[in-house]
């Protein structure tokens, strides 16, 4: 006799119901304490799209949160995660971000933890290529969007209401938000004076609360299961060395790694586009980072950090000047960004380590847009000065 086809569905529903009934605190008791330290360099999207791991990290004064995008994954010996571990500093960088994690995603994350950021020193790495005319797009937003953070934003009564409304208007342009019937209804009610829209939001609010609770439980289960440690270069060669010695070593490694091109790009990266190199010559003669929706998205980041009482250091990294010149991207279109973003940050009273004068510095970048060997040495120095509260210095001793 055949079993009913719907029996697996019933079983799945029973299992789901039982899991949903497990108290969150009970699950938290089974999460290993080592999970936070393990997550510090994992760059696991389940970690930064959730909230449990980051909440625990922010409670621990041992960690220095470091937010950014794809450059965080360039884990060589000069990377802050290796440098500060090997030199036995009193803090450990905790990396939050991956490719495509731009201002709007970081805003949602900061809003999630607004009550945990007061007085907290953090590092935020900015990339010029975020500032395309239309800002972040679906291909960058969707993989990094957190449904849990989206729902928590809807129920966030701590965030400045004007900032929240500006963010919601922006978020409603992206498919994961506008195609979510519960969340989009709540969001639209926030920015509308229409009585029917507000009434619909009241009707769906209990269901949205229940769904948000399930998302929190999902975050805890993922945290309990753990992630996969990211391989990285662990080297003690950075210990007991002056900044000058580190710079010399970074220069030598960069030179050995970038021998097949004149752009100072690592060989493996250059091999990926060298066949197309003739087509890249002068193909961007009118490009500029002067105007971009990203500036408004970035202002949301500044606004939430200011309200939270956080103490950020912004790292302004350049692009590879030689390569950008080759593509015809006008230098004026880059310089206007460096000046504009620095002014925007400093107008809010925040610190910025501006490395825009290193566009043509050999081996400062690892490829065309990502920070590399020498660049990380400069960043390490800036982070150390910032953490220790020493006077700001824009330069370390250059290698000869």
Element at 92 (helix H, strand E):
strand 92-96
- Per the prediction, the chain carries an average pLDDT of 91
| Token pair listed for 340 | 């504009």
User: How many whole angstroms separate alpha carbon 118 and alpha carbon 115?
Assistant: 7
Hey, is 9 helix, strand or coil?
helix
* Architecture of the 57-144+233-388 domain: 3-Layer(aba) Sandwich (3.40)
User: What pTM was estimated for this model as a whole?
Assistant: 0.92
pLDDT digits (tens, 9 = 90+) for 305-320: 999 999 999 999 999 9
291 phi, psi to nearest 5 deg: -120, 130
Q: Which residue did the predictor score with more confidence, 226 or 184? A: 184
| Token pair listed for 202 | 């009241």
Q: Can you say whether the dihedral through the CA atoms of 253, 254, 258, 262 is positive or negative? A: negative
- Percentage of the chain lying above the pLDDT 90 cut: 80
- Tokens 């002068």 identify what position? 282
Mean pLDDT computed over 278-286: 95
Cα 62 → chain centroid = 20
Q: Can you say whether the dihedral through the CA atoms of 206, 207, 208, 210 is positive or negative? A: positive
Q: CA angle, 212 as apex, 211 and 214 as ends, to 5°?
A: 65
For position 231, what pLDDT does the model report? 61
User: How many whole angstroms separate alpha carbon 107 and alpha carbon 16?
Assistant: 32
Mean pLDDT computed over 181-191: 97
pLDDT digits (tens, 9 = 90+) for 261-278: 999 999 999 999 999 999
Is the per-residue pLDDT at 226 higher than 90? no
Helices 294-308, 103-112: crossing angle, 10 deg rounding: 20
Mean pLDDT computed over 143-161: 97
The answer to whether 234 and 42 are in contact (CB under 8 A) is no
Helices 161-171, 103-112: crossing angle, 10 deg rounding: 130
| Token pair listed for 201 | 């939001």
């Amino acid at each position: 006799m055949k079993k009913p086809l719907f029996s697996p569905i019933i079983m799945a529903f029973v299992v789901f119901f039982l899991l949903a009934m497990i108290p969150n605190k009970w699950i938290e008791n089974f999460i290993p304490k080592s999970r936070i330290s393990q997550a510090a360099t994992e760059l696991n999207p389940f970690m930064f799209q959730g909230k449990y791991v980051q909440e625990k990290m922010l409670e621990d004064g041992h960690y220095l949160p470091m937010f950014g995008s794809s450059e965080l994954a360039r884990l060589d010996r000069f990377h802050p995660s290796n440098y500060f571990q090997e030199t036995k500093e009193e803090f450990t960088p905790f990396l939050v971000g991956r490719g495509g994690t731009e201002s709007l995603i970081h805003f949602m994350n900061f809003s999630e933890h607004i009550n945990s950021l007061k007085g907290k020193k953090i590092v935020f790495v900015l990339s010029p290529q975020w500032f395309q005319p239309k800002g972040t797009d679906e291909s960058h937003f969707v993989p990094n969007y957190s449904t849990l953070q989206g729902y928590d934003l809807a129920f966030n009564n701590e965030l400045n209401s004007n900032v929240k409304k500006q963010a919601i208007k922006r978020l409603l342009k992206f498919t994961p938000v506008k195609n979510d019937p519960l969340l989009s209804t709540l969001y639209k009610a926030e920015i509308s004076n229409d009585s029917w829209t507000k009434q619909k939001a009241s009707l769906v609010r209990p269901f949205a609360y229940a769904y948000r609770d399930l998302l929190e439980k999902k975050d805890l289960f993922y945290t309990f299961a753990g992630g996969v440690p990211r391989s990285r270069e662990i080297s003690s060669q950075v210990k007991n060395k002056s900044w000058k010695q580190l710079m010399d070593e970074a220069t030598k490694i960069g030179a050995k790694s970038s021998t097949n091109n004149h752009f100072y790009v690592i060989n493996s990266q250059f091999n990926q586009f060298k066949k197309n190199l003739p087509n890249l010559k002068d193909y961007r003669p009118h490009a500029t980072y002067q105007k971009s929706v990203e500036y408004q998205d970035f202002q949301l980041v500044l606004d939430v950090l200011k309200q939270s009482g956080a103490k950020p250091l912004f790292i302004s990294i350049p692009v590879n000047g030689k390569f950008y010149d080759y593509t015809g991207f006008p230098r004026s279109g880059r310089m206007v960004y460096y000046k504009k973003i620095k002014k925007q940050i400093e107008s809010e009273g925040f610190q910025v380590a501006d490395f825009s004068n290193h566009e043509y510095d050999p081996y400062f970048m690892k490829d065309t847009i990502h920070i590399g060997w020498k660049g990380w040495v400069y960043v390490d120095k800036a982070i150390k000065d910032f953490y220790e509260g020493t006077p700001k210095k824009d330069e370390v001793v250059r290698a000869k």
